[in-house]
A and B are shown apart, each in its own frame.
Chain A
């Protein structure tokens, strides 16, 4: 298309150019006709004048030939010596000066006699200039004296260029020489103005017939023409015509405009008549250049006429209007063509779009048909409902077989679902939000279809609903399939050892047989009467996931659980016999809102794990904590005591003379003593106090205390319990105690060391005592 447009623009520009050229040409033709008339008039006037002067000259020549005394002087001159010739010249002047005065009144400037050899006899206009030969320079004189014929025409000369009339002189058939009458341009101009008035006439002379030809001392009578430096005019100080032109601002301006016109110089040098139109100050002028040829038929000068020609302005204006109109038409046509090109392009694009749209519509219909998904649009202003083909199909009718109606549509919704659906519509409209609702509707043939409708309202600027658009998904087959599939799946799920539920976090949508067996319920409805959520059955237990007691938490428990790593997703629930079980929880997304959650009972493996953990931190013989426990927990215990503003106390004790027990009653009896002592101590210390078998018969009790005295009392109480107990076989044994409290910033090992030192003191000071 770009090529077409560029092409059109280029063609338009070319057409405009051609039209411009055509208009210029046509205008030139019209103007040329006008100029030709002017040139013809000038030509006619010019020839009328020169012909008239020819007649005048001939008359004078005839008159001259009748003067015998003149002829006698000329005859004598022909044969006289130079000394005699001077007198004869004087005589000739004396005879003819009155004749010359008369000729001057007829604007004859030069009256000139020549010998048969072409030498000057006498110039009446310049009597003292004589004797010079003209035979080479003046063709007219040469012809008159060699061919013996009358010659006339424009010609340069030694005094002035002029319009010449040369006649050979005879006396009784004897050739005596020639005579010349010559006109000045000022004289011709006067006559031209009389016959054909113009602003001015001017004669511009070729250099070789003016400046180059005259006597050297005569060159100052010329000056360069303002038209062209190779042309000369008579000096304005000599020529009345030149002076008048130079003094005229209008003629000066016209001359300047002519020289500025294109091709002027080349036209001037073509040596043919031509005209230059000039418009100056909204007036039309033509400056005609009329070539004047000399006697040798060579262009010697241009006769220039400055003529007022108002028609030029009119012609220029008319052709300018033609040009504008033509250009406007071409431009409009070009614009129309470009518009058509654009329209074609648009039309093509439109067709292509329509084609693609049709394809898309067909594809959409096919897609909708495949997906059982129809689209609809309800114009709430016009109350007009539009259904895609698939909606018609969902309704069991032919595509576009009737005009759908919203009321009819709502009436076809299953009566059980209709209130709910209408409520959804109202809510969405009220909240200006999209909606999604599943329901059933009844076809005309009574069959029921399950559909999922999604819709959205469109509002105007004022918030008024103007349109509702949406989709209608026929779920019937899918639901039936799902139901069938679910039925099969349910059987598989039911035989699982794990509890499997489908829930959105609150409501249970499905639970397998294990669920009902574990919790002792017959149905989900029964369960939901007692519990909002399965999470309500989670019990608080150390190391198990548990949720806080808020309703929001119930909604978020799945998300919270998902945040935990798989190993940490452990919950504890009570079964129908109130026995706690541990479950690992596995979550899988069922749909956008629902999860399939699998609870695997790991109670047995959990118990084993707990046992192992117990063994790891307990003394296997006495079941008291061991040093591993101490190392792991001591810092935590100290921190807990600090937070309760209590000190950590260390009660270090051992069994007195235990070696004797082993030696006397054997190691088994010794082991029994150790077990019993631990048992006794455990029974009499606080639950948060820890009893640790430090090694052999040495034990440490880590406890919290406010003062050392309290610690002492506690230790002494334990001592008394052990001392008063009757052991099997060995009957009475005692223990010695050392106590110390952990000071702020003190290493716990130092505290133990101090307690150990106190124990040593108790041992060395009689045993069965407490030393603080």
Chain B
């Protein structure tokens, strides 16, 4: 009887489990510059390919919305997401699950901040309507954190300003550099890169959990998810240091619970109010 029950349990335990895939579709950050993305993740994906004997195919999406759709229609197996898109994804797609969070090399931290930045030569007059360059609607440092910083630090309501989604942190910062916008909301580490171009940070957020790898539990088996997580968290520091990608300096396991603090009700417009 015990044997029969064991067999039944083993059989049923397999039902609903996805089979191991040999080709995994990976969506890096949504950006128009695919080269930047590849540069950022190539070492990691090469490592996973060698370690797990899989092929990783890059799926380029221009927006977080597209990434959410990819999870929904099961064309994306893994995504690299910022905290806000992750929270949004989890709220809309229950089979999305963060497995590792990345440590930023420059900050040497698993957490990061969002900032408001402007060109030093430009004058910030909060009595005038501000032109703000944002990353993407679902970027943590985009509308979500920019509106919070403007509100908290300058008592400015972003919804009343002119804002535009530049679709990336660099683009947002460059838009300010070009003189097209006065302010940019961006990740602190990226904004700091532009300090050599005269950009200055005028407001900083609290620390928030960093970017993570999110897996699609519908397309990947538990076994494969565990294998990927284990492969990433067990990698030696020496190996990570040898990666030519600048921003990653470590990985640790994480779960959806770690992002619950971001689950606040902010109505994020999906489009800017100026072109």
Q: Nearest Cβ in chain B — how far from A157, in angstroms?
A: 15
Q: Is the CB of A90 within 8 A of B199?
A: yes
Residue A219 is within 8 A (CB to CB) of chain B in the complex: yes
Measured CA separation A117–B52 after assembly (Å): 48
Q: Is the CB of B197 within 8 A of A128?
A: yes
Please indicate the chain A residues that have their CB under 8 angstroms from the CB of B199 in the complex.
90
Residue B95 is within 8 A (CB to CB) of chain A in the complex: no
In B139-180, which residues have CB < 8 Å from any A CB? 170, 174, 177-179
In B194-250, which residues have CB < 8 Å from any A CB? 194-199, 244-246
Number of inter-chain CB pairs below 8 Å: 72
Measured CA separation A362–B152 after assembly (Å): 143
Residue B120 is within 8 A (CB to CB) of chain A in the complex: yes
In A362-405, which residues have CB < 8 Å from any B CB? none
Neighbour of B121 across the interface among A87, A130, A217, CB < 8 A: A87
Please indicate the chain A residues that have their CB under 8 angstroms from the CB of B102 in the complex.
none
Instruction: Give the interface segment out of B38-46, B123-131, B253-261.
Output: B38-46
Q: Are A97 and B178 also in contact (CB < 8 A) when A221-B35, A235-B38, A238-B38 are? A: yes
Neighbour of B196 across the interface among A89, A217, A221, A238, CB < 8 A: A89
Interface string of A125-163 (1 = CB under 8 A from B): 001101100000000000000000000000000000000
Neighbour of B178 across the interface among A94, A218, A219, A235, CB < 8 A: A94
Please indicate the chain B residues that have their CB under 8 angstroms from the CB of A128 in the complex.
170, 193-194, 196-197
Q: Is the CB of B43 within 8 A of A220?
A: yes
Q: Is the CB of B38 within 8 A of A237?
A: yes
Residue A430 is within 8 A (CB to CB) of chain B in the complex: no
Residue A91 is within 8 A (CB to CB) of chain B in the complex: yes
Q: Is the CB of B39 within 8 A of A86?
A: no
Interface centre among B35, B58, B193, B245, by most chain A C-beta atoms within 10 angstroms, is B35
In B108-146, which residues have CB < 8 Å from any A CB? 119-121
In A190-237, which residues have CB < 8 Å from any B CB? 216-221, 235, 237
In A89-103, which residues have CB < 8 Å from any B CB? 89-91, 93-94, 97
Q: Nearest Cβ in chain B — how far from A401, in angstroms?
A: 109
Q: Is the CB of B39 within 8 A of A218?
A: yes
Neighbour of B197 across the interface among A127, A237, A238, CB < 8 A: A127
Please indicate the chain A residues that have their CB under 8 angstroms from the CB of B43 in the complex.
220
Measured CA separation A93–B39 after assembly (Å): 24
In A453-510, which residues have CB < 8 Å from any B CB? none
In A111-132, which residues have CB < 8 Å from any B CB? 122, 127-128, 130-131
Q: Is the CB of A90 within 8 A of B198?
A: yes
Q: Is the CB of B177 within 8 A of A94?
A: yes
Q: Is the CB of A87 within 8 A of B244?
A: no
Q: Is the CB of A218 within 8 A of B42?
A: no
Q: Are A220 and B196 also in contact (CB < 8 A) when A90-B120, A93-B177, A127-B174 are? A: no
Please indicate the chain A residues that have their CB under 8 angstroms from the CB of B246 in the complex.
217
Measured CA separation A237–B45 after assembly (Å): 13
In B26-40, which residues have CB < 8 Å from any A CB? 34-35, 38-39
Measured CA separation A91–B34 after assembly (Å): 27
Please indicate the chain A residues that have their CB under 8 angstroms from the CB of B245 in the complex.
217, 220
Q: Is the CB of B39 within 8 A of A221?
A: yes
Q: Is the CB of B39 within 8 A of A87?
A: no
Q: Is the CB of B121 within 8 A of A86?
A: no
Q: Is the CB of B196 within 8 A of A130?
A: yes
Which B-chain residue is minimally distant from A214 (CB atoms)? B244
Please indicate the chain B residues that have their CB under 8 angstroms from the CB of A217 in the complex.
39, 244-246
Measured CA separation A587–B27 after assembly (Å): 132
Q: Nearest Cβ in chain A — how far from B3, in angstroms?
A: 51
Specify the main secondary structure of chain A where it touches its partner: helix
Measured CA separation A88–B43 after assembly (Å): 35
Q: Nearest Cβ in chain A — how far from B253, in angstroms?
A: 26
Measured CA separation A632–B193 after assembly (Å): 156
Please indicate the chain B residues that have their CB under 8 angstroms from the CB of A122 in the complex.
197
The total of chain B residues at the interface (CB under 8 A) is 25
Please indicate the chain A residues that have their CB under 8 angstroms from the CB of B179 in the complex.
94
Measured CA separation A94–B197 after assembly (Å): 10
Q: Are A218 and B194 also in contact (CB < 8 A) when A90-B121, A94-B177 are? A: no
Specify the main secondary structure of chain B where it touches its partner: helix
Q: Is the CB of A219 within 8 A of B197?
A: no
Q: Nearest Cβ in chain A — how far from B26, in angstroms?
A: 11
Q: Nearest Cβ in chain A — how far from B69, in angstroms?
A: 22
Please indicate the chain B residues that have their CB under 8 angstroms from the CB of A219 in the complex.
244
In A52-109, which residues have CB < 8 Å from any B CB? 86-91, 93-94, 97
Measured CA separation A702–B38 after assembly (Å): 149
Q: Nearest Cβ in chain B — how far from A433, in angstroms?
A: 99
Q: Nearest Cβ in chain A — how far from B203, in angstroms?
A: 19
Which A-chain residue is minimally distant from B58 (CB atoms)? A237
Measured CA separation A130–B38 after assembly (Å): 22
Q: Is the CB of B38 within 8 A of A93?
A: no
Q: Nearest Cβ in chain B — how far from A636, in angstroms?
A: 116
Please indicate the chain A residues that have their CB under 8 angstroms from the CB of B197 in the complex.
86, 89-90, 93, 122, 127-128, 130
Q: Is the CB of A220 within 8 A of B38?
A: yes
Q: Nearest Cβ in chain B — how far from A769, in angstroms?
A: 138
Q: Is the CB of B177 within 8 A of A87?
A: no
Which B-chain residue is minimally distant from A220 (CB atoms)? B42
Q: Is the CB of A86 within 8 A of B177?
A: no
Q: Nearest Cβ in chain A — how far from B59, in angstroms?
A: 12
Measured CA separation A220–B43 after assembly (Å): 7
Which A-chain residue is minimally distant from B195 (CB atoms)? A86
Q: Are A218 and B244 also in contact (CB < 8 A) when A90-B121, A94-B178 are? A: yes
Q: Nearest Cβ in chain A — how far from B179, in angstroms?
A: 5
Please indicate the chain B residues that have their CB under 8 angstroms from the CB of A216 in the complex.
244
Measured CA separation A219–B43 after assembly (Å): 10
Measured CA separation A89–B120 after assembly (Å): 12
Q: Nearest Cβ in chain A — how far from B243, in angstroms?
A: 9
Q: Is the CB of A220 within 8 A of B39?
A: yes
Measured CA separation A131–B193 after assembly (Å): 12
Neighbour of A86 across the interface among B58, B198, B244, CB < 8 A: B198
Q: Is the CB of A238 within 8 A of B35?
A: yes
Which A-chain residue is minimally distant from B242 (CB atoms)? A216
Q: Is the CB of A127 within 8 A of B38?
A: no
Q: Is the CB of A87 within 8 A of B178?
A: no
Measured CA separation A130–B177 after assembly (Å): 15
Please indicate the chain B residues that have their CB under 8 angstroms from the CB of A237 in the complex.
34, 38, 42, 58
Q: Is the CB of A220 within 8 A of B244?
A: yes
Interface string of B53-71 (1 = CB under 8 A from A): 0000010000000000000
Measured CA separation A238–B41 after assembly (Å): 13
Q: Nearest Cβ in chain B — how far from A752, in angstroms?
A: 122
Please indicate the chain A residues that have their CB under 8 angstroms from the CB of B120 in the complex.
86-87, 90
Interface centre among A86, A127, A128, by most chain B C-beta atoms within 10 angstroms, is A128
Please indicate the chain B residues that have their CB under 8 angstroms from the CB of A88 in the complex.
198
Which B-chain residue is minimally distant from A127 (CB atoms)? B197
Neighbour of A90 across the interface among B34, B35, B42, B177, CB < 8 A: B177
Q: Nearest Cβ in chain B — how far from A75, in angstroms?
A: 17
Interface centre among A87, A94, A122, A218, by most chain B C-beta atoms within 10 angstroms, is A94
Q: Nearest Cβ in chain A — how far from B212, in angstroms?
A: 22
Q: List 25 A-B contacts (CB under 8 A).
A: A88-B198, A89-B198, A90-B121, A90-B177, A90-B197, A90-B198, A90-B199, A91-B121, A91-B198, A93-B174, A93-B197, A94-B179, A97-B177, A97-B178, A127-B177, A128-B170, A128-B193, A130-B197, A216-B244, A217-B244, A217-B246, A218-B244, A219-B244, A221-B38, A237-B42
Chain A residues proximal to chain B, CB less than 8 Å: 86-91, 93-94, 97, 122, 127-128, 130-131, 216-221, 235, 237-238
Chain B residues proximal to chain A, CB less than 8 Å: 34-35, 38-39, 42-43, 58, 119-121, 170, 174, 177-179, 193-199, 244-246
Given contacts A88-B198, A220-B39, A237-B34, 18 further A-B contacts (CB under 8 A): A86-B120, A86-B198, A87-B119, A87-B198, A89-B198, A93-B174, A94-B177, A97-B178, A127-B174, A127-B177, A128-B194, A128-B197, A217-B246, A218-B39, A218-B244, A220-B244, A235-B42, A237-B42
Nearest first, the 9 A-B pairs at minimum CB distance are A90-B198, A87-B198, A128-B193, A220-B42, A90-B197, A86-B198, A217-B246, A89-B197, A237-B38
